[in-house]
Amino acid sequence: MNINEKINLVKEVGEEIITEEELKELFLKKKNPIAYDGFEPSGKIHIAQGLLRAINVNKLTSTGIKFKFWVADWFAMLNHKMGGDLSKIRIVGEYFIEVWRACGMDLDNVEFIWTSEFIKEHPEYWETVLRLSMNSTVQRVLRCGQIMGREDSTANPASQILYPLMQAADIHHLGADIAQLGMDQRKVNMLARDIFPKIGLKAPIAVHHHMLMGLTEPAKTDATGVEAAIAKKMSKSNPNSAIFMTDSTEEISKKFKKAYCPEGEVNDNPVLEYFKYIVFEKFDNVVVERPEKFGGNLKFDSYNELEKTFLEKKVHPLDLKNTCAKYIDELLEPVRKHFSKDKKAKKLLEQIESFYN
């Protein structure tokens, strides 16, 4: 694979690359660059975190990139996930890893590193956090509050200041060349790029991936760009908004039947997003099943072909939703099977579900 082919694959993952020229230089100098992504273990995992993340990771590792996954247990505690209970957070983190194993993530080129264990073994981490804090302002750090899923508020905990500084420090201490995070994490990556040179550290390349929309009608907002995308992204707090990685066939079908999918509308259509970012990434072609009286089945070899046909109102929203549900269900079947047959995985899922009962 030549440099241009590698960059084109990264472009398939990143809606934004800062900067493409730096990425090219990195590939020229380094056969196996290090990319970092982090996740808070927080409840059941949905397909944006599961399938989409596996798709993105596998594309990047195919270029020679090695991934370091930051299992952000202390960050989840700071953000009061699972009630701030580290023992529960640990179980959730193990469950996430089992999901990725089941859905085909390239784990041969992925290393999972637990925040709590790493920082205890590397006390020099805290010096980096202090130096970062000395070279930023309270206002700048607070503007990164979106990475915690929070808006600016005087009622927010002081951890909202600590969290972004720690996340920036992660990039350096993991030896990451690339910070590969969602668009909602953009502000902290830019914080790192701005401050690192001031304290003698190499600024990371930022690759920001798309955030999958929730299935429900997107929120009305005057915001644009990243803020608008955050407002529309999939949310665990609204079960009808998200397909979870161990949802049953019946649950998937029910959620898609309720999904927002206005006829002939392409923009802000979550069902089309699922086709674009997941279904056509996993299947070479897609068959939309229809009764003969409505014209019979339609076969599509590309997402663009499907989108054009839907825009022309030649595919009914219900047919589109039923078809998407069918393909998503097929992709989740190996995950459901793993969590029903594998003893370790089954126990983890039972523990996760007990946290909500």
Does 184 lie in the same domain as 74? yes
- Segment 219-275, tens digit of pLDDT: 776 655 556 556 556 666 677 789 999 999 999 999 999 999 999 999 999 999 999
Task: For residue 48, tell me if it sits in a domain.
Answer: yes
The residue from 161, 176, 209 where one domain ends is 209
- Cα four-point dihedral sign 135, 138, 142, 147: positive
3-state secondary structure (DSSP) of residue 286: strand
Residues 6+ apart with CB under 8 A from 261: 269, 270, 271, 272, 317, 320, 321
Does 267 lie in the same domain as 185? no
State the alpha helices, DSSP H only, in 15-107. 20-29, 51-61, 73-78, 86-102
Q: What is the CATH number of the domain that holds 258?
A: 1.10.240.10
- CA 272 – CA 91 distance, rounded (Å): 34
Does 26 lie in the same domain as 109? yes
Task: For residue 216, tell me if it sits in a domain.
Answer: no
The residue from 209, 233, 249 where one domain ends is 209
**Residue 93 near residue 114, CB atoms below 8 Å:** yes
Task: For residue 256, tell me if it sits in a domain.
Answer: yes
Residue 253 backbone phi and psi in degrees, to 5? -60, -45
Which range of residues forms the domain containing residue 230?
225-354
Task: For residue 316, tell me if it sits in a domain.
Answer: yes
Whose structure tokens read 């949310």? 235
* pTM (predicted TM-score): 0.90
- Segment 75-134, tens digit of pLDDT: 999 888 999 999 999 999 999 999 999 999 999 999 999 999 999 999 999 999 999 999
Task: For residue 270, tell me if it sits in a domain.
Answer: yes
Task: For residue 237, tell me if it sits in a domain.
Answer: yes
Task: For residue 219, tell me if it sits in a domain.
Answer: no
Does 196 lie in the same domain as 79? yes
- CA 257 – CA 251 distance, rounded (Å): 10
DSSP classification of residue 89: H
Q: How many domains does the chain have?
A: 2
